[in-house]
Structures are given as structure tokens and as C-alpha cells.
Structure 1
Amino acid sequence: MATHHQVLIIGGGTAGIMTAAQLLEQKKSNSVAIIEPASTHYYQPAWTLVGAGTYDYDKTGRPMADVMPNGVEWIMDKATGFDAENNTVKTEVSGDITYDYLVVAPGLAYDFSLVPGLGEAMDKGVVCSNYTDPLHTWNVVKNFKGGTALFTQPATPIKCGGAPQKIMYLAESHWAKSKTRSKSEVLFATAGTVIFGVKEIAKTLMEVVDRKDINLRFNHKLVEVDAENQIAWYELTKDVSAGGCVVMAEQEGNERIDKTFQHNYKDVKVTVKDGRYGIHYDMLHTAPPSVAPKFVQQSNLVNDAGWLDVDKHTMQHNKYANIFGLGDVAGVPTAKTGAAIRKQVPVVVDNLDLLIQHDKMGNKSYNGYSSCPLVTDFGKMVLAEFDYDKNFIPDPKLKNLFISDSSKEHWRLWMLKKYGLPYLYWNKMLKGKDV
């Protein structure tokens, strides 16, 4: 027999726990269940610091049982599919579970098949990722003896778009202290065309890049990793031929480099083959290619891009009025961060409350707010806060920390990242308190 809940939530990550906590804390529903198979809940934003040797990995995880809100029913199981017409979620072990309202927040999944060779190479040898194993990242950074340090990211949406460069800035600082830096070139290769999508932040980051003497390579789409030969293969997403030769490297007279591809050119070993551009690396850090979890992708709840099809302001599903989605799985055009979830949850909770009570939607609207704490050095950080239109919108509360311009590097922002935000996360956000 199927069990039934007024509000059923898929996912015990930041989005699922916060939504349940606010519904119960504010007494909006007395029948809330969460489907979540994991026994540990991780505060992933601190993994950037773990990968740089400045945060204890063990402190980033807590037992899932400890963060489940009082009054929630925890179904320790995997969701495997939907029958939205009949208000039903299928699970691996517990059978069918029915609901009046469904909140889909399982986060995202990694699909290594999108970059052949990366899955086999990941978290082994000199290939690392703060997303999957930050302790291995720290080992790679610590043991790097020089050569080409390549930091990159896939062309898919990823969690916290700034994370692939934060570890680069911290690693570069570490190497500068350990005399490795003088024997190294640091490269950042991205499919994007700018270092960051918010102008004010990009300006500061370009200053950081210049200070640290980092080579940026834009329009580089990561398509394969050859771990044996230590080559990352890219497709160049913009036509680069000029007069029949690829203008990617120093030519006679030096003036031939296309500046939209290269900033601060460094002569590292590359191989051009079959229209692909291979950068040889001595260490490689990347984010994994990311997609919606398979059971979501294979459902009728996704948009053309394969993410959950929700309204970007109400977070309500575009086809099923009693389904909401938020967090990393949501197909909305903003960065996938915990900060985005912090602003999405109250909108979802308000809408659920009014639907349950009065069968109508609330008028709260999510404006695309997201935030990326960009660590630029040990003891320095920039805080990128922005909306759907990439407007820079700093939180007025920063004034209380005596930070007048969060687009500039500040040690107080570093303190916020290392101490303030983890405290707020465990003690306020996950408890359903307004932050």
C-alpha cells in the first residue's frame, strides 16, 4: 500500500532540508516527508578550503539524522521515477509514495561520459576535483613540483560556477610560498568568454589574474582527457583561423595573438590534432560535467535542456501545479549555489502554504538571486551577489561587517566564508530560520 504525505520532498540536501524545516517551523504543514538515501549531509562550500589545506574535511559532514527537521518523516530510500498524473513517486525499496504536493530537490548528478577519459582519471594521480574529493585535491596541490598546472571546467552548468577558479587562486598562493611557483605556469581554460558574468566582479578577478600571472584561455570546450599522456583536449568554440594558421600562440612579431582567446599568454606544450587543441598538463583540476539525476532526466518533468521545468519566479512546475522544484535541479538561468536556495525556499514555502490553505499561489517572486563567494587568496575574498540580469546586488547586511564594497578583495569576507557562513548554515538555514 502506498504511503501518503501532504508534502513530499525529494532530496535531503540544502534545498530539501531548508524547505521541510521552514514548513514545519512555521507550521505550514503537519505531514512532511523527505526521500533521501545518504546517511551524511555535507556542507560542500567548505570543500574549496579543504582542497587548499585550510579546512578540516571531517567538519564538513554531519549525520543526516542530525539535520533532519523535527517532525519530518525521513524515508531513507532512492526516488526512481514519477507518475505525476497520479501524484506518485516511485522508490527503490519503499514502493510508491503519494502526495498532495511534491518538492523536487535532489540536486544534480555527474555524467563523466560527457568528457571521455575524465571518469577513469578523476581523483587519481595528478587529476583532482574539489567537487568529488577535496582531500585528493590538497594532496595534488601539496605534491606538485612544477610544470603546467591546468585548471578547467566542463561546458555544462555546474555547482557554483566560480569554484573551479577559487582553488586555482589558493593553489597559486600555496606554490608561491613553497618555491614551486617559479617552476610553474598556471592556466585557466574555460568554454566561457569572460572570467565572470558580473562586470564589477570580473574587473577585480582580472586584477587577481594579473597579480598572480595566470594565463586565461577562453572559448575552450573540454571534450576529452587523456590521462596516460596527460593531455586535456578542447574544441575551440570560436573560429580561430586567420590566413590559414591558428592564431593561438606567439608568432613572429608577437602581435598575432587573438586577445579574445588568450589573456596573458604562456608558452606551454600543446598538440593540435583533428581540429582539437590539446593542452599538456602536470596537474589538472576540473569540475565534473553535471546533469540532472537520471530519474529526473528520464521523466516528463524536464525542459529541453534536461533540467526540471519550473517557472523561474515562482519555482512552480510549468505543467503540474502541485509540483515545485528548487536548488541545483531547477532549470532556471542562474548559478547553482546554496545562496540561490536560501532565496528560493521562502518563495516555495509561501506558495505551498497558500495552495494548502486557499488553493491559490502567493505573490512572492524569486529574482534569480545567487551568490558566489570567490576566494582569491588566503585571507582574501570577493562576494559576487547577482540576479537573473547579472546585476551586482550586494546584501545590505554586509555594511554591518564594515564591508563597503564586496566586489573588492577583503579579509572580512574571508572570515565570513571560513567561519560565518558554515555557522549560519548548520545553525540557522537548516533549522528553518530566516537568514
Structure 2
Amino acid sequence: MKISSKNFLKKKVLVDLSRRDFLKGGAALPLLALGASQSASAAESKLTAGISKKHAQIVIVGAGSGGIDAAARLRRAAPNAEITVIAPNTIHLYQSGQIFVAAGLYTQTDNRKNSSDLIPDKVKWIQDLVTQIDPKNHQVQTEKNGAVKYDVLVVATGAVHDFSAIEGLKTEAFGQSGLASVYLNDTLKGEAVGGEQTRQWLSQIAEAARTSRQQVLFSIPEGDVKAQNASLDVLLLGLDIFRGKGPGGGADVYDNVAITVAVGNEYLIDSKPFDRVLRKLLAKEKNLTLRFGTRLSAVDTQAQKATLTGAKETEELKYDFLHVAPSLKAPEAVAQSELALKEGARKGFVEVDPVTLQHKRYPNVFALGDVAALPAKSGAATRDMAIVIQDNVANYLEGRRLGTRYTGYTAVPVKTRYGREMLIEYDRKGPNPTFPLDPNVPRWIWWEMDLHLIRWAYFELMMRGLL
């Protein structure tokens, strides 16, 4: 059964409240964590600035967080438009919840909803895969339903986890021989096994460390990283598990675990002030080595050997447990289209104006989320982009100036240990915290909100375009 916006509004959800005012209300404060935190300037406009009465065909490619959020918002911002979502997945995954699966606090079923329950009423859903995008002729080609014409196209396909960029690494090897990734999922099938596999291997390493020294390796790729907090979360929660402070308790085997973190970039997150804070936090760990400018270039899963490549040297490292964060690439239909950026680090992703999210060469095309050629790859960034899409698509239809601006806002909620979380928020100008609390201090309240309330806010508010 689909969600009815009308019925939901009858329950007195105040959709016109400023997001910051809403969060400051006692009942809505929990929406802060996991990137549900807000900045008043994150999207510099409101829905009332962008309403369009035009009749138009709006096609949204993708039914992940960005696609469904955009569909719900455009349903209100352009009420006379015919809106079509094209996506093959019957199951929608709350991907951020995989961290809590790895932590042993969620199950896989907690993070799944039927796509049909989330796609808004009065939005047509073509359950199919887009195989080609033809912006010159204003149409997309689907696998089973032929060509679909549009007046406005919104690309929200997300990005592809490119595990194959690491030589010797095959996805079927995950879960075996000490190999896991909390990122491992199949959005087409609606399956996400990475969190559970990661939890199991953390537990096994803690048990093995009772009798022998264990070598643990975390790899973070070069370039843009989806959910920059994810690898850090697994690392820091893993340290708690090794100390016997996880949900299952256990012996303190911390001194028997040696951890190497290979970071492809020269930073942990792409905000200098917060990067310094995280470096200081990890510097306190006597058994942990950070290696910046070093990437995982190859892996021998049977021998459990990793090849690390830096600017000047390459070496092999034996591991008992390897957690892999993958690099990203654009879906083939996007990368092969005229919408794609043709060169540079973000080659293949949709070439949009970083402020308006309008395509730089095709004005009736917009993009949001991970598929946009922008650095921010997070749920918080996608949500703010959806507000920009909401207004600027309506403004485009009316021939108005695209007045809503995406400021580059993102959130990185780093779980520093069980029961504590650091809520990092920033935009292009620097730190941009929502609340007058020191963002460098891990707090129990952010953890509790993230664990108990943000998943609800994601499904019940963000997926209705109300957050």
C-alpha cells in the first residue's frame, strides 16, 4: 500500500516549519543524528519560493533516498506535473543502518522497506532499469518498457561500489577468509549482508586475539568516499569490541590486536578542522597506525595478503581481518551518456552546477545524491539537494531564476565508541553545526538519537519529503 501524503498531513505533521525550528522543538530534536541534522543555510530557500502550476512530464531515474525524496517534494512543488519514477528495485534499503548491524544493534530486516510503500501517491512507478539516457532527444531508454520522454529529468541513480577496482577482489569472497565490508549490498535485490559479515568477523578476531596476535587492516580509497564515517565507525566500534566493551562483553584483548589504516587520501574526512580532531583521537590508540596516501591496490584473499601502494613504495601486508571501503563509479547508463563529466577525478558522474544542481549543458536535467559530480556523498547531503531540486525544477518550469542554492552541506556522524557519537557538520565555508554545542565533543545524545530515532525519521519523514 502506498503512503498517502494527504493522510499523513491529516496527522498534523507541520511540513512548513523551518527545519532548524523543527529540530529545536523537543519532539523533533532526535532528527539531528546520522546526517539528519540541519543547517538553516543548507538550502537557502523554502518550498513557497518554487511552486509551479505548469503541466509537464518529470522523470526521476532512481528510487533510492534521493529519488524518493525528490519525488515527494516535486509532487507538492509541481502539483500539475506528471511525475514518473523509473527504478527496478522492489526493496528500499536504509544503508546507514548497516553500521548498527555491524555493531550488533540492528538486524538486516530493520533496514528494509518495500519501495511501493515509499513511492508517493500520484507518482507513476515504472519498475525497470534505465539503459540509456538521451538528453538531446529528451528521453531515456529502459530495458523492458522502451523509450520514456521527459520535459525535465532528475537523475538520482546513486553510485556503484567499485570493488573490482582492487585487483584480485571479488564480491563473492566477502564473508570468508577475514574479508568484509559494511558497504556490501545489492540495491537491485534489496540485500545488504555487509553489516552482518563485519559483525561476525569483528567477533571472531576478538575471540582469536585471546590466544594469538591479530593483524587488522582497514582500507579507505582515494577520491570521494560514500559515507565518510562508515569505515571510522567500524574501526572505532571494533576497538571497543576488542576492549571487551561491545554489547556482548568479553575479554580485553586490545593489546593483542595490531591495526593498520590505509587511507588513499591525505585526510580522513574532507574538512580540515574536523580531520585534525579525528587524527588526534586516533593518535591515542597505541596499536593503530595511520598511513595516508596509501591505497589497497590488490588482495590475495586465499593467502590473506593485501598489497598497499603509496606514492613511493608498494608492500604486502598479511592480515587476519580486512575491512574494505570501495571507490565509487557512476552507473553505466550515466557514465556513457552526454550528461557525464568527461575528464577528471569525477569522470562519469553527472556534470551539474554545484549550487543549483542543474546540468551545465542540458538545462532541463538535474541531478542529486551520489551520482552528481560533487564531493559530498551522504544522506544529509542528498536530503539538502532534494530541497534544491524541489525549488529549482519548479523555478525552471516557470522560467524563473534558479534561486535555491546548495551550499555543500553534509554531515558525518562518527561513532567514537559504543554510546558516544561526534556530530560533524560542514559546508563549503567550513564547520556549520546546527546546535550551539561543541561539535568536536562526542556526546551520548547524538548516539541515542542515531540508534533509536533517525531510522524512523528517514522512512517516515525524509522519504515523504518532510525533513
Letter in 1 for 2:87: E
Q: CA offset at residue 341 of structure 1?
A: 1.0
Match runs of 1:236-255 below 5 Å: 236-237=310-311, 239=312
Counterparts in 2 of 1:31 and 1:377: CA distance versus 1, 3 Å = same
Q: Distance in 1 between matches of 2:222 and 2:237?
A: 23
Native 8 Å contact 2:330 2:349 kept in 1: yes
Partner of 1:261: none
1:276-321 Cα distance to aligned partner (Å, 9 max, x none): 2122111000112210011111111111222111100000011100
* 1:6-25 CA distance string (max 9 Å, x none): 10000000110001001113
Amino acid at match of 2:381: A
Counterpart for residue 258 of structure 1? none
Give the AA of the match of 1:149.
V
1:253 aligns with: none
What is the correspondence of 1:192-271 to structure 2 with a 5 Å cutoff?
Answer: 192-213=265-286, 214-237=288-311, 239=312
* Counterpart pick for 1:78 among 129, 134, 159: 129
Name the residue aligned to 2:230.
163
Q: Is the 8 A contact 2:131 2:141 kept in 1?
A: yes
CA distance in 2, matches of 1:112, 1:150: 16
Higher relative contact order (CA 8 A, sep 6+): 2
Contact 1:25 1:432 in 2 (8 A): no
Segments of structure 1 that go 5 or more residues without pairing to the other structure are: 240-274
Q: TM-score, normalised by structure 2?
A: 0.79
Q: Given the alignment, which residue of 303, 316, 319 partners 2:358?
A: 316
Matched, 1:347 2:347: no
Please report how far the alpha carbon of residue 348 of structure 1 lies from its aligned counterpart in structure 2 after TM superposition. 1.2
The 5-angstrom pairing of residues 33-72 of structure 1 reads 33-72=84-123
276-285 or 88-97: which moved more? 276-285
Q: What's 2:36 paired with? A: none
| Equivalent position amino acid for 1:319 in 2 | R
Q: Which residues in structure 2 correspond to 1:36-435 (within 5 Å)?
A: 36-119=87-170, 121-132=173-184, 133-144=194-205, 145-146=208-209, 147-177=214-244, 178=250, 179-213=252-286, 214-237=288-311, 239=312, 275-303=313-341, 304=343, 305-332=347-374, 334-356=375-397, 358-389=398-429, 391-395=430-434, 398-399=435-436, 404-433=437-466, 435=467
| Offset, 1:30 | 3.3
Unpaired segments of 5 or more residues in structure 2?
Answer: 1-54, 185-193, 245-249
Tell me how far apart the structure 2 counterparts of residues 54 and 187 of structure 1 sit (CA, whole Å): 26
SS at match of 1:59: helix
TM-score computed with the length of structure 1 as normaliser: 0.85
Residue 118 of structure 1 aligns to a residue in which SS? coil
Q: Is the 8 A contact 1:165 1:188 kept in 2?
A: no
Task: Quote how far apart the aligned CAs of 1:208 are.
Answer: 2.6
Kept after mapping to 2: 8 A contact 1:387/1:393:
yes
How far is 1:73 from its partner?
0.5
Supply the distance in 2 between the matched residues of 1:345 and 1:130 (Cα, whole angstroms): 26
Residue type of the alignment partner of 2:202: V
Deviation at 1:158, TM superposition (A): 2.6
Deviation at 1:416, TM superposition (A): 2.0
Could you tell me which residue of structure 1 aligns to residue 191 of structure 2?
Answer: none
Tell whether the 8 Å contact from 2:221 to 2:265 is kept in structure 1 after alignment.
Answer: no
Contact 2:216–2:320 (Cα < 8 Å) also in 1: yes
Please say if residues 156 and 291 of structure 1, whose CA atoms lie closer than 8 Å, have aligned partners that are also in contact. no
Contact 1:233 1:276 survives alignment (8 Å): yes
Assess if the C-alpha contact under 8 Å between 1:116 and 1:224 holds in 2.
Answer: yes
Superposition RMSD in Å: 1.7
- More divergent stretch after superposition (208-217 vs 222-231): 208-217
Report the secondary structure of 2:431's partner residue.
coil
- After the TM superposition, which of the residue ranges 358-367 and 343-352 deviates more from structure 2? 358-367
Matches of 1:13 and 1:140, distance apart in 2: 29
CA distance in 2, matches of 1:123, 1:288: 16
- Partner SS state of residue 85, structure 1: coil
Deviation at residue 27 of structure 1 after TM alignment: 4.5
Residues 5 and 33 in structure 1, CA contact (< 8 A), matched pair in contact too: no
Q: 1:408 is matched by which residue type in structure 2?
A: V
Superposed CA deviations along residues 85-112 of structure 1, whole A, max 9, x for unmatched, are 1111000001100011000010001223
Secondary structure in 2 matching 1:131: coil
Q: C-alpha separation between the residues in 1 aligned to 2:267 and 2:98? A: 24
> 2 CA distance for matches of 1:85 and 1:167?
44
Conserved 8 A contact 1:384-1:407: yes
Aligned-partner residue type, residue 304 of structure 2: Q
> What CA distance in whole angstroms lies between the structure 2 residues aligned with 1:98 and 1:196?
40
Distance 2:163 2:379 in 1: 23
Q: Letter of the aligned partner of 1:130 in structure 2? A: V
CA positional deviation for 1:364: 1.0
Number of aligned pairs? 386
Q: Is the 8 A contact 1:108 1:329 kept in 2?
A: yes
Rounded Cα–Cα distance in structure 2 between residues aligned with 1:320 and 1:29: 23
Q: CA deviation at 1:5?
A: 6.5
Query: Do the aligned partners of residues 189 and 141 (structure 1) sit closer, same or farther apart at CA in structure 2, a change above 3 Å counting?
Result: same
Offset, 1:156: 4.1
Shift of 1:429: 0.9
Deviation sequence 1:164-192 (CA, Å, 0-9, x none) = 11100001101110333221112211012
Distance change (3 Å), C-alpha of 1:318 and 1:280: same
